[in-house]
Copies of this chain bind each other. A is one copy, B any other.
């Protein structure tokens, strides 16, 4: 099992249906690129990305807030329990070559900040306008932006 890159998806629990559908599509595209995908393992963006990756037979790792590996969403390939609470956000930043932030609240902002603090490139979609984040205009553009960075 070899992957072409490691990509972390940042994003929150509360998203609208369109963003959910787009994130599922993003997951499919990432799996086709043979990228190993990391997410926070819960609902919303985290569930949608795992669903898309699993539909294409890819691998999506869920870095969970809790202590129970069974507490993640049903689409994760491999859930990893950390018992770190929101502190697990830092692990998503450590483990990627490039990060993609989709939508999101303050939790997503902390993930973006960690990634930028560690010098990891961040592509943003419908997310926080933080200096240093490269914005993408569509799901296909996210893939294009990530590929141009890798």
A interface with B by C-beta (< 8 Å): 1, 6, 36, 59, 61, 63, 67-69, 77-78, 80-87, 89-91, 94-95, 105-107, 109-110, 112-114, 116-118, 130, 132
B95 touches A80 (CB 8 A): yes
Smallest beta-carbon distance A40→chain B, Å: 12
Copies in the complex: 4
Check A69/B6 contact, CB under 8 A, given A80-B61, A118-B86.
Answer: yes
| Chain B residues whose C-beta falls within 8 Å of the C-beta of A112 in the assembled complex | 109
Nearest first, the 7 closest Cβ-Cβ pairs linking A and B are: A110-B113, A106-B117, A109-B113, A87-B90, A83-B85, A81-B94, A106-B116
| A133 CA / B89 CA spacing, docked (Å) | 21
Rounded to whole angstroms, the CA-CA distance of A82 and B92 in the bound complex is: 9
Given contacts A61-B78, A67-B85, A109-B130, list 17 more A-B pairs with CB under 8 A.
Answer: A1-B78, A36-B78, A78-B78, A82-B82, A83-B85, A83-B86, A85-B90, A86-B118, A87-B90, A89-B90, A90-B90, A105-B117, A106-B114, A106-B116, A106-B117, A109-B110, A110-B113
Q: Is the CB of B69 within 8 A of A95?
A: yes
Residues of the B chain whose Cβ atoms lie less than 8 Å from the Cβ of A80 = 61, 63, 80, 91, 95
Cβ–Cβ contact A106 & B95, under 8 A: no
The reply to whether B113 and A106 contact each other, CB–CB distance below 8 Å, is yes
